Structure formats: C-alpha cells, structure tokens
Structure 1
Amino acid sequence: MSSNTKLSYKQMKEEFVSNLSGGEVTEINYVTAVAPAAFLLWSVLQSRQSFFRPYRPLSFLVDFLLNVASPLLGITLYANNPLLLCGFILAPALFVYALPPRPPAPRRKPKLPPSIQSQDSSSTLPPLSTKPFLTTYRGSMLILTCLAILAVDFRLFPRRFAKVETWGTSLMDVGVGSFVFSAGVVAARPILKERAEGRITPLPQRLLHSMRHSLPLLALGVIRLISVKGLDYNEHVTEYGVHWNFFFTLGFLPPFVALFQAALKVIPSYAALALLIGVMYQVVLESTSLKAFILTAPRTDLLSMNREGICSFCGYLAIFLAGQDTGMFVLPRNITRSGSSNGVQRNTLLLTMTVWSAVWTALYILTTNPVYGAGVDVSRRLVNLPYVLWIAAFNSAQILAMCVIDTIFFPAFYNAADARTEKEVYETATSPVLRAFNRNGLAIFLLANLLTGLVNLTVPTLDVTPLATMAILVGYAAVLTVVAVALDKWDLSIKL
C-alpha cells in the first residue's frame, strides 16, 4: 500500500467519524434500555432457578450472551429496532418467571471458633455497603462504552450513534459523560467514610492523595498521545484538541474536586455545586467570546490547539460532582438517620432516586426545550449545561432502573443481618461478568483502547462485511470479558 493510499485511507477514517449530527434522545434511551432488560432476564434466571449458582461454563456463556452480546446487538444488528430486541429478551423472562421456582440448595455453615462466630453473627454492619445495583450499573455502562469505541469504526455501527461534531446528542456522547458520572459516584465513598469516622482531612493532604490518583491517568494520557502521533493513527481533532485526550480529563479531575470540596462549607450539596459550575460556565459561553474561541479559533498555540479539552473540563467537573452527589445518598447503608426498618430504608432510597431523576430530567427539559424552556442545544464538544443535565438525568434513571430490578428480585440483600450473609447475597445478586468489569473498570477500558488500536491498524474496518464485523466485535468482546472474569477469579484488582 503506497503512502498516498495510506494517507487517503486515514483521511477516509477521519471523515467517517467527523461532521456528524447524532440522533434523538428517545432512541438513545431505547438502545440503552437493552442492558436493564438483559439484567432483568438474568435476575429472573438467578432468583427463580439459581441458574448462575454454581457458576459453570454454561452459566458463563449465558451471562456473556445476556450482559455483553445483547448490548452489542443493540448497537449493531438491532440498531433500528432496539425495542424489538428488548421484547426478545423480556419474553423468556416472563416464561421463566411463570415456572415454579427451584428450591434452594441446603447450605452447610462452616464451623468457626466461638470468637469469630459471635463477631460474624453481630448485627452491627459497617455504614457503607457495596450495593448490587451499583455494580450492575457500572459494569453495564463500561461494557457498552468498550463495545462502542471499536464498533464506531465499522459501517455496521449507525453514524447517528457516533460522537456529534458540535451540536446534538448521540449514544457515544452519553457514554463519555457516563464514564465521568460513574467515577463521581464511587468517589463519594472516601468522603462518606471520613464523615462516618468523624474526621476531616486537611486540604494539603487531600491534594496529595488526589495526585496519587491523577499521576497514573496523566501518564496514560501521555502514552496515548505519543503512540497516536508515532503510529500516525487517525484522529478526530475537534473532539478534545490536537494533544489532549480523555485520560488527561480524567487525570485532572481529582485535584480540582479536592479543591472544590472546601466550597461545601458555603454550598449545601455537591448537586448545588455542580449546578453552580454548570450555570456559570454556560453564562460565560453565552456572554463572552469563549464559545466562538472553542468552535472557530485558529490553532496557533498550545491553548488554542487543545481548546476543546481544556475548556470542556469545567463541564466534566460539574458532571463528576453531580455523580458524587448521587453517591452521597446511594452508597450509605441507611439513607435516613433514624433507626428505620430495612424496608423503609429501601423505599426511601428508591423514592430519593426517583425524585433526583425527575429533577435532573426537568432541568434538562427546561434548558433545552425551545417552546417551554431556554432552547439551548446540547454540545458534548463544549460540555455545556444542557449536556451536563442530560448526563445527570440519564445516569440517575439508569441507576434507578437497576435498583428497582435489584429490589424486586433480591430483597434479601437489604435484610442481611451480618457481613457474611450480605456478601453471599451480593454475589448471588450480581452477574460475575458485570462484577468483573466493575472491579477492574479502568484497566479493562485501557485494554479496550489498546485492542481497538490493534484492530484499526490491522483491519480495513471500512471495507469489511457485516458478517466479518460481527465476528471481530464478538471476538473483541469475548477477549475483554475473559480477561475481566479471569482477573476477578484470581482476586486481582489493578488500581490505576
């Protein structure tokens, strides 16, 4: 292949993902509904038939088909009929639910020394718990993100699902924001732990701790930058800029969040802080020349070359803080301070999540609706206020959906009296595949990026047939899943 041909093919690939306008939010909701539908079928099989306990090769295959292959079908072969795919998934769920439940296998309690036995049976549980529905939400979100970053390079993946150029909504745009939002949800854990222990970490110590999280991500950003430039890999410059990439955005978030934590002495919540940052950023975009600078300025220096990544950071910070606010009421074991029953706690959590989903959705409609609201268009390139509100509303609804399924089919988790029982019910209520993706999320995302680059460097993705496309995507998904499950099986957590 001559250099001219290589150049033209590189340009073709860049044009393939450029100047796109996206699709309707409603269709994005239908496509992403495949994951909750698949998890509902998984939950019916597990709760009624104990299909995934013990976890055999057949169990793994069904788990993979439901939680990985189903979303893959939703963004490729069934992209035009996502509700039909949801119907195909939910029909067997109704059938299995109608069958008589399989009686639970008798469990033998291991003999423990009296000291451990009394400690284990204690009703005092730690204030924070690992909620099954959060594992499911984060695992399914990461799977869809990993699938989309490779699928977008094939013609079978609809162009309306790929990232928009400037204005509009798309499936991949919601994926980027969701990654940041879910990171914010988890980041609430150390803050809640501090509050439970009644201690306050000084700002310098907080910054030092945040830098420990930032440095590996910034290093990955540098490695990605060098490899992309060195391999002459196709780039979409208007996404983040000439040198900036998503790892830099993730890397700079922790220290800024640590700095903004001091503002909570004045501002009542992380949600209010997220809204304040989002509104102020939007006001600056509309009342100054910043918007024109981001969209049209010539790339003459380091700032202008990377203006999208640098300026959009304000929006991503707001999304992260919105996720952190969700984590503040989702992660604690008890959402109310009073000694309410487990049922009341669970119902209060569902009600709180429903209210917040409605609030974020209402704010999004008020900001974007041209008749009843401000009529501002969503822009992932700017990460403007409508985009922030859309991501918060979407993810709040996704978490709520997973929580409802979890509550219906695995109520025992919320009634566990001791740590061992809770751990057993947690493992029963979560898919090993989703659990594995959630456990090593960033490492698997990095592997997905490396495999995506490998496929693009070795396969002419624009020229392959639909059959070959599906074979490559299924193989790629299988490799990611096997690696994730193997790491979980070997009890390895790769912290980046």
Structure 2
Amino acid sequence: MESRLLDKSLNPNKLLKEQFVSNLTGSSLTEIAALSTIVPALVVLRKWSSGDNTRRDAAKKNGDRVLPVRKDWMQYFCTLVVDYLTVVLPVLLVFTVLDEWAYMCSISLVILIAVYIMFKRSQSHLKAGLSQLPSLRADISSYRVSVVLVTCLCILAVDFKIFPRRYAKAETYGSGIMDLGVGSFVVANALVSRQARNITTMSFRTALSSISPLVFLGFARILSTSGVDYQVHVGEYGVHWNFFFTLAAVSILTSIVRIHPKHCGLVGLLILAGYQIWLSSGLNEYLISDKRSADLISQNKEGIYSILGYWGMFLIGVSLGYYLFVDTSLKGKNRNTQVVKVWVLAASFWILAIILDSYIERVSRRMETYSA
C-alpha cells in the first residue's frame, strides 16, 4: 500500500487522471435509451438520403464487372465528408456540448423517420421503397460500425472535461453510455459468429488459434499501460484482467460447451438468471469489496466472474443471429415481420432491464449485471 502511495506521489498527473474517472454514478436508463436511439436513427436517415448503395446493388444485379481502377475517388471522398457531417459530427455534438438536448434530438429523429415512412406510404411507393432497403446483413454491418464509432468517440472524449461525467463508466452501481460498449461488442460478435451460422466443425485447436489475437492484445495492453504508467481502474476488471481476455474466455467457453443455436437463447437467459441469483446470494458483496488476496482469482475477481454475464449475453446474440440469417423455417417470410420481432425483442430487454434495476439489483458494470 505504501509503495502504491509512493508511486502516486511520484506521478501526480496519474493520480489526478484516476480521480477524474473515479466515483462516477452514471446516467439514467432513459437517457441511455435516448442516446442509443440517436446513432441508429442518424445511420438510417443517412442511408435513405443516399442512392449510392442502390446504384451499386443494381450494377451487381446486372452482372456488370466493377473495375477498381475506374472508381471515382472524388465521389468517395465527398461521400466520406457527407457521412462525417451527417453521422459522426452530430453524434460527437450530442455526446459533448449538446448533452442537455439528448432527449429532444432523439424524439426529433424518431418523428422525422416516422414522417418519412408516412410520406412513402402516401406516395404509394412503399413496396418499391421496401425493395430497395438494405439487407439484414447490411443492417448488422451498420450496427457494428456504429458500435466502433461510438466507442472511439467516447474513449477519446472521456479524458476531457467537455465529455459529461455521467456518460463515463460508472464506479460500482449505475451505468453510463460507455458501459454499453463492451456489451455491444459481445452482441455484435455473436450475431456473425460461427455458432450463429451453425458451424460446429471447428476443433478445439482451431478455437485456440482464433483467440490467439485476443490473448496477444490482452497482454499487449498490460505491457503498454504499465510501460507508459497509464491510469487503469482496478475496479473495472481487476489488476491484470482486461476486456480482450474476457472475449477470449467467452470464445473458449462457447467452443467447449457446444449448444445448438436454436437453444442458445434459452440457455443464455438461464445463465444470466443463475448468475444474478448467485450475486444476490452474496457474490455481489465480494465483488464490490476492495479487499484482495494474493491469488490470481482474487486479484482479477471482477473480470473473471463477469465472464458468466458476457457468456449469457453472447449466447442470446448467437440465437438472434441464427434466427435472422440461418434458420430455414424463416425463409420467404416478410422481412418486415422479422424487423418487427427484433424491435419487440429489443423493447422487451429494455423493459426487463428497468424492472431488474428497480426491484432486484441496481445495474453494475463491475459485476456485469447490466447484461441481464
């Protein structure tokens, strides 16, 4: 303990940075829901306002060969600028200087989308418009890109005062918009995983090989943060653990315990329910406590025990990915029906999270209970 205090006294800037990101309680779930609505709404409006994808898809359907050397790079640059002005910049503003207008921006975007849909109906172009909508795979790609975009913006902005403290990671109980990042990555990976595509031929050696980059990044992060004496919040994952190790552990668990994607959703819910019961039985007090023994598990208790929450969330994502892309029983069904079911599922999870947060246990990044 004395050596830790000595290190802090030798590096006062590190101590100030740790205090700047410590003792935070997060935001409300309704505000997080509003912020989570803004990003996909902007992406949807940008897609609707652009005819690039439609023209490209039409060229592919006609069997035309598109030669890379003939690309119009100026057009690509202009598209990039428009994407930045219509998606990246608005997200950056709402997450910083316009944070007090988050609800208004969210409601306005939803109303704008609703008006556009009604306009398409009134123009009797609904059928044609729907036929030009991007595929579900394109939607998932947009979701994954949005997750990376918001993560990068928040990670870069969190060290500045212009970034609202309630958006940063909460200390123990509560949640900020940054607390959604890790869960979003897990779901994004699950939707396009081998398990979601019902590929069960992967051997254990192949699974180990596939997680080797994550293990490498995990150790690289340890070495880099310690090498530059960067502040690391021990209460997030533990002394040595980080999110790369969590992703690797989830991948190994999923490879060892092979579950058909049809049943992954139910199994994932059971794992989350069992983990929450374990937490309520006393595990939460152990994880919240700052006391740590010398063993490796105690040193990294937050990261190791939270694997159960991430695994349950991953299995639910696998089930959803299988339902959207692989399940042959859904072939030929109206795409709108699938979209509506996904919306209902998302709303159900939001309502469930609010109920659990109010009556069971507060949301906690430290215990990964927000995955429930």
TM-score range, shorter-chain basis?
A: 0.7 to 0.9
Question: Pairwise mapping of residues 173-192 of structure 1 onto structure 2 (< 5 A)?
Answer: 173-187=179-193, 189=194, 191-192=196-197
Per-residue deviation, residues 297-333 of structure 1 (Å, max 9, x unmatched): 5223122211111111111111111111111112238
Residue of structure 2 equivalent to 1:394: none
Matches within 5 A, 1:268-287: 269-287=263-281
Match for 2:181: what amino acid?
Answer: G
Please tell me whether the aligned partners of residues 329 and 349 of structure 1 are also in contact (alpha carbons under 8 angstroms).
no
The 8 Å contact of residues 26 and 167 in structure 2, kept in 1 or not, is answered as: yes
Residue 246 of structure 1 is aligned with which of 239, 243, 247? 243
Aligned-partner Cα distance in 2 for 1:130–1:351: 13
Q: Is the 1:46–1:52 Cα contact (8 Å) retained in structure 2?
A: no
**Structure 1 segment 225-244 matched on structure 2, within 5 A:** 225-244=222-241
Question: What is the one-letter code of the residue matched to 1:222?
Answer: F
In structure 1, distance between residues paired with 2:329 and 2:336: 10
SS at match of 2:239: coil
Say if 1:31 and 1:79, in contact at 8 Å, map to a contact too: no
Deviations 1:227-246 (A, max 9, x none): 11121111111111111111
Say if 1:32 and 1:71, in contact at 8 Å, map to a contact too: no
Distance 1:268 1:132, change over 3 A: closer
Percent of pairs with identical residues: 34
User: Within 2, Cα distance between the matches of 1:175 and 1:161?
Assistant: 12
With normalisation by structure 1, the TM-score equals 0.61
| Structure 1 residue 83 displacement after superposition | 3.8
Task: Within 5 Å, give how 1:120-159 maps onto structure 2.
Answer: 131-159=137-165
Q: Contact (CA 8 Å) 1:78, 1:85: kept in 2 or not?
A: no
Does structure 1 conserve the Cα–Cα contact (< 8 Å) formed by 2:262 and 2:319?
A: no
CA displacement, residues 366-387 of structure 1 (integer Å, 9 cap, x when unaligned)? 42333xxxx3211110012xx1
Q: Distance in 1 between matches of 2:299 and 2:191?
A: 32
285, 307, 317: which one aligns with 2:311: 317
What are the residue-to-residue correspondences of 1:281-430 with 2, within 5 Å? 281-288=275-282, 290-301=283-294, 302-332=296-326, 336=330, 340=332, 344-370=333-359, 375-384=360-369, 387-389=370-372
Once the two structures are TM-superposed, the CA of residue 268 in structure 1 deviates from its matched residue by 5.9
CA drift of 1:85 comes to: 4.0
Q: Tell me if the contact between 1:34 and 1:71 (Cα under 8 Å) persists in the aligned partners.
A: yes
C-alpha distance 91-256 of structure 1, shift in aligned 2 (>3 A): closer
Alpha-carbon distance in structure 2 between the residues aligned to 1:49 and 1:98? 21
Separation in structure 2 between the aligned mates of residue 156 and residue 19 of structure 1, nearest angstrom: 18
Report the secondary structure of 1:208's partner residue. Answer: helix
Unaligned runs of 5+ in 2: 1-6, 58-71, 124-134
CA contact (8 A) 1:297 1:304 kept: no
**Offset at 1:11?**
0.6
Instruction: For 1:363 and 1:69, locate their aligned partners in 2 and report how far apart those are by CA, in whole Å.
Output: 32
Deviation string for 1:312-365 (max 9, x for gaps)? Answer: 11111111111111111122386525xx4xxx4313312331332244234334
SS at match of 2:50: helix
RMSD: 3.1
- May I ask how many residue pairs the two structures share in their alignment? 334
Give the 3-state SS of the residue equivalent to 2:330 in structure 1. Answer: coil
Counterpart of 1:303, as a letter, is I
| Range 39-48 or range 224-233, more displaced | 39-48
Secondary structure of the structure 2 residue equivalent to 1:215: helix
User: 1:195-217 CA distances to partner (integer Å, 9 max, x unpaired)?
Assistant: xxxxx53xxx5322221221110
Structure 1 partner of 2:101 = 81
Flag structure 1 segments of 5+ consecutive residues without an equivalent.
Answer: 102-128, 195-199, 390-496
Q: 1:56 to 1:87 in 2, by over 3 A?
A: farther
1:41 corresponds to which of 45, 64, 69 = 45
Structure 1: distance between partners of 2:10 and 2:154: 25
Give, in whole Å, the separation in 1 of the partners of 2:204 and 2:53: 49
TM-score (norm 2): 0.80
Q: 1:92 to 1:63 in 2, by over 3 A?
A: farther
Greater mean alpha carbon deviation, residues 34-43 or residues 46-55? 46-55
Partner of 1:57: 77
The residue that corresponds to 1:216 in the other structure is: 213
